[in-house]
Structure 1
Amino acid sequence: MKRPAPTEADSPMPVSLREATRVWARIGLLSFGGPAGQIALMHRELVDTRRWISDARFLHALNYCMLLPGPEATQLAIYIAWLLHRTAGGLVAGVLFVLPGFVTILALSVVYALYGQVPLVLAVFVGLKAAVLAVVVEAVIRIGRKALKNRMMVAIAGLAFVAIYFFGVAFPLIVLGAGLCGLLGRWWAPRSFPAPASSAADASSDFLIDRLLGQGRLTHTRPSGARAWRVALAWLAIWWIPVLAVIAAFGRHSVLAGEGLFFSQTAVVTFGGAYAVLAYIAQRAVTGFHWISPGQMLDGLALAETTPGPLIMVVQFVAFLGAYQHQTGLSPLLAGVAGSVLTIWVTFAPCFLWIFLGAPYVEALRSNRALHAALSGVTAAVVGVVLNLSVWFTLHTVFARVDERHYGWLRLESPAWATLQWLPALIAAVAMVAMLRFKLGMGRVLLGSGAIALAWWWLAGAL
């Protein structure tokens, strides 16, 4: 009996999971600079260098991730990896995106708890943080050129930046307004909001994921009610079983249980990224639960901003010190490690839930003209939001102190010019020339910047 001839859908993936794992590991190791730097890195690696996914689909996925609670860059990595290699790919990308930062912050938390701040480590991170400015600037230029295709998109991006930077408008409201502009613009200015690409156009695309979707090979992207229920139940169990186990072992009012419950709550309210919820976390951790001091919170923010991984990973440092200093029944170090692991678990498990549950429906709706127009507006707004993150990151890297001033509805972040840090500014300038003019790779730029900062620290100490 003859076997049926293999179909195109049965043929092996052009990119193996092993090869993709190496790419996600590289992205995880180089993911400095908060969401702006991480989105920039993924765009550079996945769109420009490897051509796995087109700008349109990259921004389509980013739009969805920006609407979700939690770290949008992590969710974007999970989404793109899920498109290519199903659940296994999403798990690999998500874990590798978080793992380098988790290991780094855990090690630095132990050192901090035992010895306090370590100047050598802080000196290296000064150089890394400054180098990320070049990555961020390059990303804003590259993404802006490709996403802002007409004056309407430029106007929406500009309005989004003004709204969030000068008036502090909540990110969900900006998204809602941009989506409404897209819906109305479809009727008022149809040329500014073109129809989505057809499946035939996707099938002939030179971007890998777009081509595979156009050929109908990525069948797991089709929505299914039964699958949605399975995903929801499985990931809710994965999320909450460790929290319930800690409550059973140490009691509802223990520090570890409090951390599991509190950071599970923050995982579902962090709309607009970590910046939007850090003030709330700091207030509750310092003055509500009294887990840490204000100075320790600032040190944690500095670590999270300069280590790889999402900025929200500052919660790991908070949880480590809170359990290290206050949990009973365990040794301080063991309690701190347990607090770190539990907090990272409840912070990132929801990311997998949101993507694995919602991504098939987001993909199915991509061909809807009204939704496509709305998301086109959101795409333009996202450029303005990334620009806002870039300005924020630049100010807080180059200046030791940035004051926030209010003039009625207007909010301005005014740098204290006397606190200009010339070394980070110089390293950032050199890194920018290296990347933008000489096209030097990110790994070399980060390594060189860290080495410059370390050499200066050693030289200043020697003198």
Structure 2
Amino acid sequence: MSTTAATAPSYSLGQLMLYMLKLGTFGFGGPVALVGYMHRDLVERRGWISDTDYREGLALAQMMPGPLAAQLGMYLGYVHYRILGATIAGIAFVLPSFLMVVALGWAYSRFGGLSWMQAVFYGVGAAVVGIIAMSAYKLTKKTLGSDKLLWCIFVVLAAVTVITESEIAWLFIAGGVVNWLRKSPPHWLGRGGVNALASAQAPALGGVLSGIDLSLLAQIGVFFAKSGAFVFGSGLAIVPFLYGGVVTEHHWLNEKQFVDAVAVAMITPGPVVITVGFIGYLVAGLSGACVAAAGTFLPCYLFTVLPAPYFKKYGRLPAVKAFVDGITAAAVGAITGSVIVIAKRSIVDWPTALLALATVLLLWRVKKLQEPVIVAAAALIGLGVYPLVHLYTQ
């Protein structure tokens, strides 16, 4: 049976670019929601990408460091249009949100902060929990089936994510290995040795670079390249890394500025890690924003296009498929666990709890309801309700 990758594409590169531009402009909810949108739109509704190609892309994105949704988008661009497709898909996906955070950075710097942001985030954060929860549910239902071992991997990763409030990269690999050993004894184990060794040495290289006396822009580039190269998973995982470097190590921002930067990432569409553009702008203006974004996304681009041909070549082998299925189960488990972690920070009282529940019910019952509509409504609710709750609690 032929797959999408083996047949002529039913869409043009221009159509894919427009879709990624639209997703980058209106795709709210963070990495969990964004990967769910891609499956819904490109696999289920339009049939541009096969479910097998999507699963491979999700597994590769989870295996490699860097922002999950951006890497998946690049891989889906690679499926039919190779390096050009990955490049255009990646740029189109990231560019809209980058321009938005740069504009917000300009306003923040010019007007001395964004006092309204806390109220907006109060409403949007709660709605985002509902959006992510529905995306996680759909991914779980689609990817796990009735396989008991995959469910066990899913539960373990979900629990670990909730307990540690982070994503532990080696557990994703472990999930793939466990399922691989069960379904298909390894015949090519030795081939991974060189790549694994190279990956193990990468953090050491980052340590060497961090010790060199560099100009401000070069320091920004090196730091954010490390954030893109050595942090696995979603924006949930990259935030502590950014805090350690931006606030604690380099003292580029204070605590309040960093919290505002995270809020900007949550109220803007596209990948959560696009907050690096906002941070870069506050540190060194437009040049800082561009260097920070390039430093973050270039490594994940290379980590996608370089192994992609081998994923396409060997992805149909039983051993590789078993490994990918295990990785995917682990990824979906971590994504589901992150819903609880984010909820703990965003559901702070009865109004936010009701807003999150209402979001889930609306998405459940109204199939064609667009998430940006919910986010816009939640922002307005936040602007109206937050001042009342804040005054009441004083």
Instruction: Tell me the TM-score range normalised by the shorter chain.
Output: 0.7 to 0.9
Deviation at 1:341, TM superposition (A): 0.8
The aligned counterpart of 1:49 is 45
Alpha-carbon spacing, 1:120–1:278, altered in 2? closer, same or farther (3 Å): closer
Q: Does 1:258 align with 2:187?
A: no
Q: Does 1:164 align with 2:161?
A: yes
Q: Which amino acid aligns with 2:290?
A: V
Q: Distance in 1 between matches of 2:310 and 2:231?
A: 22
Deviation at 1:387, TM superposition (A): 0.4
Q: Distance in 2 between matches of 1:167 and 1:337?
A: 35
CA RMSD of aligned residues (A): 2.8
CA displacement, residues 249-281 of structure 1 (integer Å, 9 cap, x when unaligned)? xx9632222111221222211123333343232
Q: Distance in 2 between matches of 1:25 and 1:454?
A: 28
SS for the counterpart of 1:367 is: coil
Alpha-carbon spacing, 1:366–1:162, altered in 2? closer, same or farther (3 Å): same
The aligned counterpart of 1:447 is 376
Q: Distance in 2 between matches of 1:16 and 1:168?
A: 40
Q: Distance in 2 between matches of 1:459 and 1:32?
A: 26
The aligned counterpart of 1:427 is 355
Q: Does 1:272 align with 2:233?
A: yes
Q: Does 1:174 align with 2:171?
A: yes
SS for the counterpart of 1:173 is: helix
2:127–2:355: 8 Å Cα contact kept in structure 1? Answer: yes
Q: Distance in 2 between matches of 1:460 and 1:183?
A: 52
2:272 to 302, 311, 323: 311
1:126–1:306: 8 Å Cα contact kept in structure 2? Answer: no
Deviation at 1:62, TM superposition (A): 0.5
Q: Does 1:26 align with 2:22?
A: yes
CA displacement, residues 109-146 of structure 1 (integer Å, 9 cap, x when unaligned)? 11111223334455444443333223212212211112
Q: TM-score by structure 2 length?
A: 0.82
Q: Distance in 2 between matches of 1:262 and 1:112?
A: 23
2:309 to 360, 382, 385: 360
Q: Distance in 2 between matches of 1:86 and 1:393?
A: 35
Q: Does 1:62 align with 2:53?
A: no
Q: TM-score by structure 1 length?
A: 0.71
2:28–2:372: 8 Å Cα contact kept in structure 1? Answer: no
The aligned counterpart of 1:235 is none
Alpha-carbon spacing, 1:111–1:42, altered in 2? closer, same or farther (3 Å): same
Deviation at 1:455, TM superposition (A): 5.0
Alpha-carbon spacing, 1:349–1:21, altered in 2? closer, same or farther (3 Å): same
2:63–2:327: 8 Å Cα contact kept in structure 1? Answer: no
Report the identity percentage: 29
Alpha-carbon spacing, 1:431–1:277, altered in 2? closer, same or farther (3 Å): closer
Q: Distance in 2 between matches of 1:186 and 1:131?
A: 40
1:105–1:317: 8 Å Cα contact kept in structure 2? Answer: yes
2:70 to 70, 74, 84: 74
1:148 to 136, 144, 148: 144
Q: Which amino acid aligns with 1:158?
A: V
Q: Distance in 1 between matches of 2:112 and 2:353?
A: 27
2:23–2:270: 8 Å Cα contact kept in structure 1? Answer: no
1:65–1:75: 8 Å Cα contact kept in structure 2? Answer: yes
Q: Distance in 1 between matches of 2:336 and 2:161?
A: 10
1:55–1:146: 8 Å Cα contact kept in structure 2? Answer: no
Counting matched residue pairs gives 359
Q: Which amino acid aligns with 1:26?
A: K
The aligned counterpart of 1:241 is none
The aligned counterpart of 2:36 is 40
Alpha-carbon spacing, 1:451–1:50, altered in 2? closer, same or farther (3 Å): farther
1:436 to 358, 364, 372: 364
Give ranges in structure 2 of 5+ residues lacking alignment: 186-211
Q: Distance in 2 between matches of 1:29 and 1:170?
A: 27
Q: Does 1:291 align with 2:252?
A: yes
Structure number with the higher helix fraction is 2
The aligned counterpart of 2:131 is 135
Deviation at 1:22, TM superposition (A): 2.3
Deviation at 1:74, TM superposition (A): 0.1
Select between 107-116 and 159-168 the one with higher mean Cα deviation: 159-168
Deviation at 1:434, TM superposition (A): 1.5
Deviation at 1:169, TM superposition (A): 7.6
Alpha-carbon spacing, 1:122–1:91, altered in 2? closer, same or farther (3 Å): farther
CA displacement, residues 41-82 of structure 1 (integer Å, 9 cap, x when unaligned)? 222222222222233331221111111111011010011022
Alpha-carbon spacing, 1:298–1:160, altered in 2? closer, same or farther (3 Å): same
Q: Distance in 1 between matches of 2:222 and 2:166?
A: 28
SS for the counterpart of 1:308 is: coil
Q: Distance in 1 between matches of 2:360 and 2:165?
A: 29
SS for the counterpart of 1:118 is: coil
Alpha-carbon spacing, 1:169–1:352, altered in 2? closer, same or farther (3 Å): closer
Instruction: Choose between structure 1 and 2 for higher RCO, CA contacts under 8 A separated by at least 6 residues.
Output: 2
2:253–2:283: 8 Å Cα contact kept in structure 1? Answer: yes
Alpha-carbon spacing, 1:115–1:167, altered in 2? closer, same or farther (3 Å): closer
Alpha-carbon spacing, 1:167–1:433, altered in 2? closer, same or farther (3 Å): closer
SS for the counterpart of 1:268 is: helix
1:70–1:271: 8 Å Cα contact kept in structure 2? Answer: yes
Q: Distance in 2 between matches of 1:22 and 1:187?
A: 40
The aligned counterpart of 2:188 is none
CA displacement, residues 276-326 of structure 1 (integer Å, 9 cap, x when unaligned)? 343232122223222111221122112112211222222222222222xxx
1:41–1:135: 8 Å Cα contact kept in structure 2? Answer: no
Q: Distance in 1 between matches of 2:144 and 2:245?
A: 40
